[in-house]
Structure 1
Amino acid sequence: MEYNKMEALLEKYFEGETSIAEENELKDYFSSPNVAEHLEQYRPLFGYFAKAKDDTFTQKVALHSKKGKIAWFSIAASIVVMLGIGTYTYFNTNTVKENRELGTYDDPEEALAATQKALAMLSNHVNVGIEGVQYLQVYETTKNKAFVE
């Protein structure tokens, strides 16, 4: 009778329908010395659970703190920012000094020559713009002749 009950419990166990009390009953049965011969094959399964319950983990696990990594990353980031600011300041101060020196002449004749050169360049660019406007005027008069007539 007990063998039939154990077989039914095993069937329920493998279907995943047993309760905790029924699983404990199976463990107790298979840990006892009077197990039926045809159920002997299941003894290691339930014996493993009993044995695994007593096992303990004895190795030490090294815990690595993330604070150390974050500290190094923040230090590296601040160094990069400081290098960037220093590089920008170094190269920017040279251009500021050069810009302050532009447009100042001690010799009036040299200043006159530089002014005439700048005005000639400006005149050339204005003349190019006037030529473009003259083409527009020719286009406008041609268009008016074509559409009025």
Structure 2
Amino acid sequence: MVLNKIEQLLEKYENAETTLQEEQELKTYFSQDQIAPHLEVYRPLFAYYKASKHETFTKDIPLKTKNTNVYKWLTVAAVGVLMLGFYFNTSKHITTTDDDLGTIQDPELAYNEVVNTLELISKTLNKGTATVGYLQTYNQGIATVNYIHELEHTSNIIFKNNK
């Protein structure tokens, strides 16, 4: 009868449905020396609760907080700098007209600007391709390795035929 009640209490305990009194019954049952063999796995759990009652925290807790005034003022200053930046950035855009989109009225001047911009882009891309030029040497090395592999494969065929 007692064993059935303990098993029911364990099932309720695992479902988090026990009351404090029922948990106390489980603790007293598992603190005994005589426990059913199939319930021995629960003994360390309830023994921990008994042992943890006697534990105490011995470290000192500092009651003073760290000096965070510096960080508070730094955040206030950062917000102020950002607000000033947004203000001056928007005030600059307010003074310009909405019709001015940076267009050039003179066609010859516009053509020269486009040519200069495209030359700049071309130079930048050429710098990037110059640094990748070593890949051609790498490809030649891979071709040589493949050639050696073909020779090895051919020699294997020859030696197998001779055996």
Whether the TM-score (by the shorter chain) exceeds 0.5 is no
Give the TM-score taking structure 2 as reference length.
0.41
Q: Per residue, is there more helix in 1 or in 2? A: 1
Instruction: Point out the structure with max Rg over C-alpha.
Output: 1
Give the TM-score taking structure 1 as reference length.
0.44
